[in-house]
Amino acid sequence: MTTQQLRPIVSVFPIKGKVKTIKQVPLPSVFSAPIRPDVVRFVHTNMAKNNRQAHAVSTTAGEQTSATSWGTGRAVARIPRVKGSGTGRSGQAAFGNMCRGGRMYAPKKVWRKWHRKINTNQKRYAVCSAIAATAVTPLVMSRGHRVNKLPELPLVVSDQLQSLTKTRQAVKFLKFIGAYRDVEKVIRTKKTRVGQGKYRNRRHVLRKGPMVVYARNLGIKKAFRNIPGVETASVYTLNLLKLAPGSQMGRFIIWTESAFKLLEDIYGSWEKPSKFKSGFYLPRPVMVNTDVERIIKSDQVQTVLRNRRPRSRKYGKKIQRADPYEDMSVMLKLNPYYKTKLQKQKELEEKNKEERKEIVDKSRKEYEDWLYFSEEEEEEEEEGSDEDREIEVLSDEN
């Protein structure tokens, strides 16, 4: 249906020996289902609420007093107070959420809606999306799985895996196929839980490692049970909470051949309905070809578009313009009146030349006069100064 048919054929690998394709299997249609992070998030957040256990505060908590308000006129707050005397408790405030030993605000009730109903189709949509995301290498990498050394994604392995019984064999297989790096990551990052869960029987926190999906359990479940981070699941019951942990799509899944083939029957395609989910067809994508850039740049679109409008220069590149004050031709292009303006200026200048000359001469003369005059003055002053002073002194004494 979609152009997202990534690889029509997928290789099947053995569980030991050499990492070589022993068989090739067609890719089920589920892997071409639309990848919708929004649908997955919605379904995941609601589904995650379904394993909650009811908890509440005791119904009588904080209410087991016969406290009454003292009313007004006693110079105390009007909150109900404990009756009686002879004990420290008497006269203390009770009942309010602000009071010490009072009931909480809106005490929790057991009849809170703990679980959420989700439309079946939505649930299936999410699961299909999550499975499709499993085959997209970048999404699996972005979730944090160490898949650099894998021979192929989606990783399909021969059915012999289902008959494994020993954990040792399982580990050996994981190392052989290149999936053990993910398990190592889990082992390395095992930590004590942050918070109070650590003393509520949830002491350790582990990452999610690879998930092994089988068609028939012939010992595989027990073989992989004790390996940290590794989960097993049957194809018939794939859980979204495990396919997209934390509503993050792209879990690293190892499929067995028969499980892989069964996916076509379990989820159907766009033409054929599912054999196990009555009336269920694979969800249709809103957009078949999601490469928007390619579409816009394609010939079919470009030929039909109108011409581009000139861009506003405001945020564009700075254009190197010629300086009008350097180049007269540019100036005249911009302002043709400039020429006449200059001419007029020139005429004015010449007109005023004579006037200016007079003014300039006059001012110059004045300056010179002042200069010479001041020199003479100084000389006179020097000659007569002593005498004057003496006279003054005499006068003061007198």
The closest of 148, 153, 137 to 250, measured between CA atoms, is 137
> Considering the rule CB under 8 A, would residue 108 count as an interface residue with another protein?
no
Question: How far apart are CB 248 and another protein at their closest, in Å?
Answer: 5
How many positions of this chain bind another protein (CB under 8 A)? 34
Neighbours of 359 (CB within 10 A): 11
> Of the ranges 148-156, 220-228, 335-343, 359-367, which one interacts with another protein (CB under 8 A)?
148-156
> Considering the rule CB under 8 A, would residue 131 count as an interface residue with another protein?
no
Question: How far apart are CB 177 and another protein at their closest, in Å?
Answer: 11
Residues 175-194 as x/- pattern, contact with another protein by CB under 8 A: ---x----------------
Distances, alpha carbon 273 to alpha carbons 22, 262, 277, in Å: 30, 13, 8
> Considering the rule CB under 8 A, would residue 46 count as an interface residue with another protein?
no
Which residue pairs from 40-45 have beta carbons closer than 8 angstroms and sit at least 24 positions apart in sequence?
40/126, 40/129, 40/130, 40/240, 40/244, 40/247, 40/249, 41/247, 42/122, 42/126, 43/118, 43/122, 43/123, 43/125, 43/126, 43/240, 44/126, 44/240, 44/241, 44/244, 44/246, 44/247, 45/247
> Of the ranges 57-65, 72-80, 165-173, 244-252, which one interacts with another protein (CB under 8 A)?
244-252
> Considering the rule CB under 8 A, would residue 142 count as an interface residue with another protein?
yes
Interface pick for another protein out of 92, 137, 158, 234 (rule CB under 8 A): 137
> Considering the rule CB under 8 A, would residue 91 count as an interface residue with another protein?
no
Query: Which SS3 state, helix, strand or coil, does residue 260 take?
Result: helix
> Of the ranges 216-224, 227-235, 286-294, 368-376, which one interacts with another protein (CB under 8 A)?
286-294
The closest of 313, 338, 317 to 327, measured between CA atoms, is 338
Interface pick for another protein out of 16, 112, 166, 294 (rule CB under 8 A): 294
> Considering the rule CB under 8 A, would residue 249 count as an interface residue with another protein?
yes
Interface pick for another protein out of 3, 45, 50, 58 (rule CB under 8 A): 3
> Considering the rule CB under 8 A, would residue 228 count as an interface residue with another protein?
no
Question: How far apart are CB 304 and another protein at their closest, in Å?
Answer: 22
Question: How far apart are CB 296 and another protein at their closest, in Å?
Answer: 12
Question: How far apart are CB 76 and another protein at their closest, in Å?
Answer: 50
b/e map 263-287, b = 16+ CB within 10 Å: bbebbbbeeeebeeeeebbbbebee
Tokens of 218: 């012939």
Give the 3-state secondary structure percentages of the chain, helix then strand then coil, rounded to 5. Answer: 45, 10, 45
Residue 203 has, within 13 A of its CA and on its CB side, a CA count of 2
> Considering the rule CB under 8 A, would residue 151 count as an interface residue with another protein?
yes
Looking at beta carbons only, is 68 or 289 nearer to another protein?
289
Neighbours of 261 (CB within 10 A): 18
Question: How far apart are CB 168 and another protein at their closest, in Å?
Answer: 25
The binding site for another protein (CB under 8 A) comprises: 3-4, 6-7, 35, 37, 133, 135-139, 141-144, 147-153, 178, 246, 248-250, 289-294
